[in-house]
Chain A
Amino acid sequence: MSRHAELGLTDSEYERIVALMGREPNGVELAMFSLMWSEHCGYKHSRKLLETLPTDGPRVVMGPGENAGAVDVGGGLACAFKVESHNHPSAVEPFQGAATGVGGILRDVFAVGARPIAVLDSLRFGEPGESARSRYLLDRAVAGIGHYGNSIGVATVGGEIYFESAYEQNCLVNAMCLGLIETEKLIRSAAAGVGNVVVLFGARTGRDGIGGASVLASAELGEEDSGKRPTVQIGDPFEEAKLLECSLELLDRELLVALQDLGAAGLTSSSAEMAAKGGVGLDVDVATVPLREAGMEPFEIMISESQERMLCVAEPERVQDVLDVCAKWEVNATPIGVVTGTGRLRVLAGGDVVGDLPVGALVDECPAYDLEPAPPTRALYPAPERALEDDADPDETLLALLGSANLASRRPVFEQYDCIVGSRTARRPEQADAAVLTLGSDGNGARRPALAVSIDGNGRRAAVDPYRGAVEAVLECSANLACVGAEPLGLTNCLNFGNPEKPHIAWQLSRAVAGLGDACRALGIPVVGGNVSLYNEGGGGPILPTPVVGIVGQLPDAARAGRIGFAHEGDAVGLIAASGWAPALAGSELAKLRGAAPAGELPAADLGELRALHAAVRQAVRSGALRSVHDVAEGGLAVALAECCVAGGLGAEVTVDTTEEALFGEGPGAFVVTGARDAFAAFGAAAAVIGIVGGDELRIAGALSLAVSRLADVHAGGLSALLDQA
C-alpha cells in the first residue's frame, strides 16, 4: 500500500496535492494533507450539500465557519453554540471518547470567547436488552460525559438517548454546548498582523490521538478497532477548567488578536485555519512545543490530538502579559511561531524547514465531491426482535412502550450529570420538554429574557424516510421549545451517516439535508453551525441515518416556562392538533416493539400550519394560561398522556379516538395541554377538550385504565434495570 493510501488519501487526491505543491510532499507535509483533506476536516462529501442550508436570520451574529455559531439574545449578549460528534472514539473507548467529545465542544465555544453555560448530549447505542456491549458503551459513555462536564462545572441540562441494533457496532455520541458572551467581544479565529506571535497554551503535546481525524473519524470501523485505542485522546477536565478560565481572562483583558482551539488534526488544522482565515502565513517551530515524551517526530507534533490545548495570536508587546495570565492559571504557554505575509504554513524544527505548504492548498483546495445518490434497492435494516404481540390490549401496550428502553425515564442517566451548576437552570430534565436557562438581570436590575434549548433526532424515522425524518427532527425540536414558550433563534446540526461513497448512503444524506433545509426555511430558523460524521458503519452495516438538531430559543419569562406534569385536579385536558395531524404506525415505537423493520410511509407535514401551531402554543405558554404542556412524540398520544400523569403525580380521565393509530401512532403536530376550560379558546379549531385531570389513574375511555403509580414504576424502571446490569 502506498504511503498516501495508508493515510486515507486516494491516488487522485495525491496527484492533486503534487500539482498544488509543484513537487512531491515530504512525510510531514503528506501527514498534514491527509488530515486536512480527511472527511472530518475537509467535508469532502458534504460541503456541497451543507451550502444549501439557510444561514441568514435577523438574530445571527456569527454563522457557520467559525468555531461556533452565535445568535443575539438581547441586552448586548450573544449565545454561541454548536454540536459535534465523537462517535468513533466512543465506539473504541467510550469513557474517554465521550469525555473528550464534551471537552472538544466546550473548547469550540470558549474559543469564540463565550463562557460555556450548558451541555446537551445526543446518544445512540445498540439494543441494551440484547447486547452486553451496548450496556457497557452506555454506562461508560455516560460516565465519561459526567466526568468531564461535572468536573469542569458546566451544567448538562438535556439530551436524548435511543437504542437501535443498527448502532450496535457504531454508537453515536454527539455533544452540544452553549456559551454566553457580550456580543462585541466575540472573537474570531483569523490570524492577522505580520510579525505577531503565535502562542500555544494548555496541555503538553503527546502521542495520543495521532491520526484521530483520518484513521478513526473518516473510515469505517472494523474488526481490529481495539488496536486503534491509541488514536483516542485522553481528557483531563482539570486542565480544561484552567484553560477555560485562562482563555476567558486573556480575552477579557483584550490581549489576543485571535484564538483557536486545537481539535481534530491538532496543530495542523488550528494553524492552517487561522492562517487561511486571515489570509496570512505562519511559521511554526515544532522544536519549541512542550512535549510529554522525548523523541516525537515533527509530523507527530503537528498532528497530535492531545487534548486541552489552545492556539492564540498576540502582538509582540503583549506576549509577556499573555504568558503572565497563563502562569497565574498554572497553564503552560509557549511562543511557537510568528505570523508571516507569505501565505505559507512553514513547519520548522529548530533551524530546519521540515514542511512548507501553501495554506490555501491545505484549507481551501480540499476536493469537494458530488455525491452519487441512489435510493436503496433493498431493505437496509433488519427487523428488530418482536417484543409485543399484535393483539396485546391497550393497557399492556402502553406499559410496554413506557418501560421500553427508548421511552423509559432517563433519570438513571441524567442524575449522573450536574444540571444545576451556574444556578441558571429553571427547568431541569423531565420537568419540561426543553431545558430553560435564566440569564440573570441586566445592568438596570431588570430580569433578562431566558434561553431554552433542546436536541432531537430520530434515526428510525429517518431510516423510513430521510427527508421527512429530518423535517421531523426540526419540528420536534421546535415543538419542544414551544412547550416552554420559547421562540427558535438558531439551529445547529450533526449529520451522522454511513459511508457517503455508497449511493444509498449518499441518497440518505442528500434527502436528509434537503429536509433539514426545507424545514429550517419554512420555520424561519437559520443554521449557524454544525458537524458531519460520516463512515459510521461497522461489520453489521450502516447506522440509521441520524440527523440530530439542536435549537436555541428565547422566552421572556422563565417563571412561565411550561411544565410537562399535570398540575391541578379539575383542570381541563386539551389536545392541540394541526388539522393535518395524522399519526401512523410506520416508523413508530409500537411498530418496533412488534418487530417491524423501519419501513412504510411517514405522515406528511404542512410546515406552514405547524409553524403557526408552534407559535400559538408558545403564545399560550407565555400568557400563563396553561398549567401543563407536552408535545406528542414517540409512543403517540397515550404515552404523552402517561408522561404528563407521571410527571405531575396526577391521573386523568380522557375520551379520544381509540384506534391504535390514534393512541400510539406517531406524526408531528399535536400537544397535550391543561388549564382552565376557557384557556384553550385562543387555539380555535385546533383545540379539543378531551378530558379532565384528577384521581390516581389514567383512564382512556373504552381503551385503558392504569394506576399512575404503576405507570411511574414502569417508566422509572425501564432503563435503570439495564444500567444496573452494565
Chain B
Amino acid sequence: MMDRSVDETELLAWLDGELEESEAARVAQIVSADPALSERAEAHRRLQARFAAAFDPIAATPIVEKPVLRVAPVLSLAAARAERAAKVVRPPRRWALPGALAASLVVGLLIGHGFGMPTGVADRPGALALSKPIAQALDAQLSGEAGPVRVALSFRDRSGNFCRSFTATYVAGVACRDRADWALRYAAPGAPEKQGAYRMAGDDSGSAQVVAAMIVGDPLNSVAERAARMRGWR
C-alpha cells in the first residue's frame, strides 16, 4: 500500500488536512522520503504562510458601525407627514430592519484598515458633533432662510430634544440638540452640483422616513421656532 506516488492534488489535499488518517500517513511517509516532494510541500507551506501573513490582519480588524444614512434632507413637511401616515397602514420596508445593529449595518460600515491614516467618524464622545458654521446656522436660522446652510424643518424627538433637518454644501442631514451641542443623527453627502436647488422630499422617501420615524408631535411653526431659538433650543 506504500508504493503509489503522490501527485500535486494529493500533496495539497494532505497539506490542507483533507485526507483521512491512513491516507495522510501514507502521503507523509512518501513525502518525507522524497527530497523533491519535501521541497514542493515546503514551497506550498510558504505560499500559504505568506498569504496568511498579509490577509489575516484583515480578519482580525474589527469593523465598527457608522451611523450614517444615505438620505436626502427632508424639506417637505407634507411629505414627512404623508410618509408617517402611510407607515401606519403599510408593512415596513424590507430594509427597515429591527434592532439597532441592523439599522446601522444597513446604512454603512466604517472599516479600519489598520495601516495608519484614520478616516471617517471616530468612535469617541462628540464624534458626531457638527462643525461651527452648521451648528451656528442651526442655532440662529429659521427654517427656510437662505444661506450656505439651509434649515428645512424643526421638530421635537422622543426625548423632547429639538431636532432640525438641514442642507449644507457637502453634507445634509438631521441634527438634534442634546445638552450643549448639536449632534448629527443622520447625514448624507450633499450634492454640490445641485447647490441652491432644493430637492423635493418626495424624491427620496427614505429621507421623509428619517424625520417621520423621529418626530413627536408636529414640526415647529415659525412662532414656535422663534421661541425655541430664544431659549437656545433647550
Partners in one complex: no
Query: Which residues of A does B touch, CB under 8 Å?
Result: none
Query: Which residues of B does A touch, CB under 8 Å?
Result: none
